[in-house]
Amino acid sequence: MRLSGKVAIITGGAGGIGKETALLFAREGAKVVVQDMNAEGAKAVAGEIGKAGGEAIAVTGDVTKRAECERIVGEAVSKFGRLDILINNAGINKDSMVKKMTEEQWDAVLSVNLKGTFLMCQAALAPMSQAKYGRIVNTASIGALGNIGQANYSASKAGVIGLTCTLALEFARSGIAVNAVSPGATETQMTAGIPAEIKKGIEDRIPAKRFAKPSEIANAHLFLASDDASYVTGQTLFVDGGISVGI
């Protein structure tokens, strides 16, 4: 098992990519902290891991608040004695054309997607630095390259890439690798409401001609969180069916 004995926090772990990552990590031997604002959803995922013979706890908390992030990390260390892996998967979107975008829409998306990633990294880096070991995987997006109607989302995800590069430079000597996964269109709750004709148009632009499955993004998380990627840091892995090649 590739994560045997490791302890991992998965933010936004109640569904979609986060859930698939939590389940996969548990199968690979990790003890998992499932974080989500959806308390019942997080408990359900942790329960599913437990029924399969793994170890997991569910933790709620607002990643936009420093004290909450420190508490989430503290609960992981208190329960399992260490923290090896952080998957920053929590994120939201509030789409609008620039002319109509409100400050609330801008602030909400930047706060969760970028500030939340920063604060969770900051909290996790304390125990990781002490142990001289850590794997952090942040969530960027193909949207970081620009997307109509998503100025706030695109800016937040481009910021995640810059943050990832900077953290990688600052903590490489501490044995901590920091990378990002940049998913393309993926079959999640966030994309479930896309009208069929628009979805077809998106698929036509993707060389692979389909949306990703959440499990395919989870597999990228697993690689970067494992020691198979021990010499990989500061990188953004696009998992997008090839669409970024043509942008």
198 burial type by CB count under 10 A (0-12 exposed, 13-18 middle, 19+ buried): exposed
Decide: 62 and 52 in contact? Cβ < 8 Å: no
Q: Is 162 helix (H, G, I), strand (E, B) or coil?
A: helix
Please, which contacts does 141-145 make with residues 24 or more away whose CB atoms are closer than 8 Å? Answer: 141/182, 141/183, 142/182, 142/183, 142/184, 142/185, 142/238, 142/240, 142/243, 142/244, 142/247, 144/182, 145/244, 145/247
Question: Would you call 153 a catalytic residue per the annotation?
Answer: yes
Decide: 176 and 134 in contact? Cβ < 8 Å: yes
Tell me the C-alpha to C-alpha distance, in Å, between residue 8 and each of 20, 63, 124. 14, 16, 10
Instruction: Name the DSSP letter for residue 213.
Output: P
Residue type, 157: K
Q: Give the Cβ contact number of residue 110 at 10 Å.
A: 17
The catalytic position among 25, 80, 118, 153 is 153
Strand pairing class (56-59; 31-35) = parallel
Picking from 153, 157, 149, 155, the residue whose alpha carbon sits closest to that of residue 96 is 149
Residues assigned a catalytic role: 153
